[in-house]
Structure 1
Amino acid sequence: MALSRALFLFALIATIFSTMAVAKDFVVGDEKGWTVGVDYQVWAANKLFHLGDTLTFKYVAGKDSVVRVNGSDFQSCSVPWAAPVLGSGHDTVVLTTYGRRWYISGFANHCKNGQKLLITVVPSQQLPWSPVPSPSASPSPSPTPAPEAAPPSNAPWTTTVARRSLLSKKLFKMIHTNLIDV
């Protein structure tokens, strides 16, 4: 009994850390950053974005911003009234749902001059040795991609700091609970 709990705990920890290790951080525009004059569709064309990956937008704070919009606002370069605007100059966005994501600059004519990014986030594939059951074996329905023209949520964007702090607390609690009985 104790051995099976220890093995389960080990497999759980290995899965959590392997998922974290696989996630990638993409600096939008690479060394050029988030600026006018970069073709972000060419930049994104050879990249595969998965759940858990992050986009980092680097630019001069106060001289630009990042706004997540829907498809029609992306086409028209419109910043919705209630859309959250990021402006720190080093904004990190965690990709927590899959489907299409649209980002534009919120400054003057930057978007109309090409400063906009469209990506498609795909579900992460599970490793064959993963102890986590596949979605087909799960009794709950599998997630569906967000609709293309769905407006963005007005909730604050997820950051990597919040995700890691919650993971640490949950992991500590699980280890503590399972090792007490061993």
Structure 2
Amino acid sequence: MVLCRALFLFALIATIFSTIAVAKDFVVGDESGWTLGVDYQAWAANKVFRLGDTLTFKYDADKDNVVRVNGSDFQSCTFPWSAPVLRSGHDTVVLTTYGRRWYISGFANHCKSGQKLVITVVPSQQLPWSPVPSPSASPSPSPTPAPEAAPSSNAPWTATVPRRSMLPKKLFKMIHRNLIAV
């Protein structure tokens, strides 16, 4: 019984930490960075963005910025004055909720010239508690994505964000309690 419990906990911990380790950092625009003249929809088309991944925006801070907006502001290339604006020139955004995300340049007419990005963040399929069905499962409706009413729903929105563990507190306590009992 003790050996079974220990093996189960080892497998659970290995699964969790291997999932956390596979988070990707996407440099928006790759070598070109965040600038005019890049087709960001084509750049994002062959990528899968998952919870825990990061977007890194690299640009000249004196000539550009990044603003997260909602879908209608994305279409019209406008943003509310209260929208958070990234200005460091090397900004990292952690994708903490799933659903659509819209980013534009708030500098001059850059957005109207095509400097804007829309992505869809999907739940990680590697987590055992993920709401996304496995490929062998029959098709079912996908979970409802997080609402996009306010740009601040994808907190944190700073360039100096420490990575937080994706390990839920209850699961941590269960593992800790069972490891001590073994």
Normalising to structure 2: TM-score of the pair? 0.78
Task: Tell me the amino acid that sits aligned with residue 181 of structure 2.
Answer: D
Structure 2: gaps (5+ residues)? 133-141
Aligned partner of residue 162 in structure 2, secondary structure: helix
Per the alignment, residue 78 of structure 1 pairs with 78
2:125 paired with 1:122: no
Greater helix proportion = 1
Residues 47-56 or 30-39, more deviating: 47-56
The answer to whether the 8 A contact 1:68-1:104 is kept is yes
Per the alignment, residue 7 of structure 1 pairs with 7
2:151 paired with 1:152: yes
Structure 1: gaps (5+ residues)? 137-141
Q: CA RMSD for the aligned pairs?
A: 3.1
Tell me how far apart the structure 1 counterparts of residues 76 and 130 of structure 2 sit (CA, whole Å).
40
Aligned partner of residue 30 in structure 1, secondary structure: coil
Per the alignment, residue 63 of structure 1 pairs with 63
Per the alignment, residue 139 of structure 1 pairs with none
Alpha-carbon deviation of 1:44? Answer: 1.0
The answer to whether the 8 A contact 2:94-2:156 is kept is no
Per the alignment, residue 181 of structure 1 pairs with 181
Aligned partner of residue 112 in structure 2, secondary structure: coil
What pairs with 1:30-179 in structure 2 (closer than 5 Å)? 30-126=30-126, 132-133=128-129, 135=131, 143-147=143-147, 150-153=149-152, 155-157=155-157, 161-164=162-165, 176-179=176-179
Q: Deviations over 1:29-49 (max 9, x none)?
A: 000000111111111112222
Residues 26-35 or 79-88, more deviating: 79-88
- Identity among equivalent pairs (%): 82
C-alpha distance 7-156 of structure 1, shift in aligned 2 (>3 A): same
Task: Tell me the amino acid that sits aligned with residue 52 of structure 1.
Answer: G
The answer to whether the 8 A contact 1:70-1:101 is kept is yes
Question: How many equivalent pairs are there?
Answer: 172
C-alpha distance 108-170 of structure 1, shift in aligned 2 (>3 A): farther
Task: Tell me the amino acid that sits aligned with residue 150 of structure 2.
Answer: P
Per the alignment, residue 138 of structure 2 pairs with none
The answer to whether the 8 A contact 1:65-1:87 is kept is yes
Aligned partner of residue 162 in structure 1, secondary structure: coil
The answer to whether the 8 A contact 2:51-2:98 is kept is yes
Tell me how far apart the structure 2 counterparts of residues 134 and 55 of structure 1 sit (CA, whole Å).
22
Normalising to structure 1: TM-score of the pair? 0.78
The answer to whether the 8 A contact 2:38-2:115 is kept is yes
Task: Tell me the amino acid that sits aligned with residue 161 of structure 1.
Answer: P
The answer to whether the 8 A contact 1:51-1:96 is kept is yes
